[in-house]
Chain A
Amino acid sequence: QSVLTQAPSASGTPGQRVTISCSGSSSRFPLNTVNWYQQLPGTAPRLLIYDNNQRPSGVPDRFSGSKSATSASLAISGLQPEDEAEYFCAAWDDSLNALVFGGGTKLTVL
């Protein structure tokens, strides 16, 4: 059972804003920063958001991240067809001494 929980699927129409959540119990949600990874169909994952809300160079500012005490969120504004992908949250868990991933949310652009 993953420390990080994500809804298995989400959807939106082009131009819409969608939010993907990553949650855990307050006692288990990582105190460390949360990162988000995007995996397009048939490709390797790529870093989308790091340190809760930072974008690597080349990531459009349509993507944004946030984190509270018990959850983290990835928001995508102005949804585009090429955003159809699976999105994973991740964080280092000090108690497990391990990198933990959420189960992933498959985003469909209708």
Chain B
Amino acid sequence: QVHLVESGGGVVQPGSSLRLSCAASGFSFSDSGMHWVRQSPGKGLEWVAVISYSGGDKNYGASVKGRFTISRDNSRNTLYLHLSGLRPEDTAMYYCAKRSGSLATLDSWGQGTLVTVSS
């Protein structure tokens, strides 16, 4: 059974940095592309980034490009998202999700970790 557990969220000041983690189990992590998706309070879903199974290919959403970095450690079955230059509008629940098939098919999601950017 696929299990994804995010951690690392918290309350931070504008301009600061944070690293989110997503611990994966129950599937072959090193064979799976992974996504980060976020959801601001009361709002819809916004795609953040995707990384290929090997970590060699990465893509980012326009609003986070140049500020966020997605990475993975296949030896630890862990996905990361490094957030820098945080802004109040980055306040959101951040979900990691496993890719299956097409780039838009996210077949398993974690429960999310909340990031609040506030002074």
Please report A residues at the B interface, Cβ cutoff 8 Å.
32-35, 37, 39, 43-47, 50-51, 56, 86, 88, 90-92, 96-104
Contact = CB atoms under 8 A, between A and B. Distances in A.
Interface of B: 35, 37, 44-47, 50, 59, 61-62, 95, 100-112
Given A99-B35, A104-B45, A44 B105 contact: no
Contacts of A50: 100-102, 104-105, 107
B84 to A, nearest CB: 20
A34 B100 CA distance: 14
Contacts of A92: 102-104
Contact of A90 (B62, B104, B107): B104
Contacts of A44: 95, 109-112
Chain A interface, >50% SS class: strand
The 5 A-B residue pairs with the shortest CB-CB distance, nearest first, are: A99-B47, A92-B103, A44-B109, A104-B44, A101-B45
15 contacts: A32-B103, A34-B104, A35-B102, A35-B104, A39-B45, A43-B111, A44-B110, A45-B106, A50-B101, A50-B107, A91-B104, A96-B62, A99-B35, A102-B44, A103-B44
Contacts of A46: 109
Contacts, number: 71
A42 to B, nearest CB: 10
Given A46-B109, A47-B107, A88-B44, A98 B102 contact: no
Contact of B59 (A56, A90, A98, A101): A98
B88 to A, nearest CB: 21
Contacts of B108: 47
A100 B44 CA distance: 11
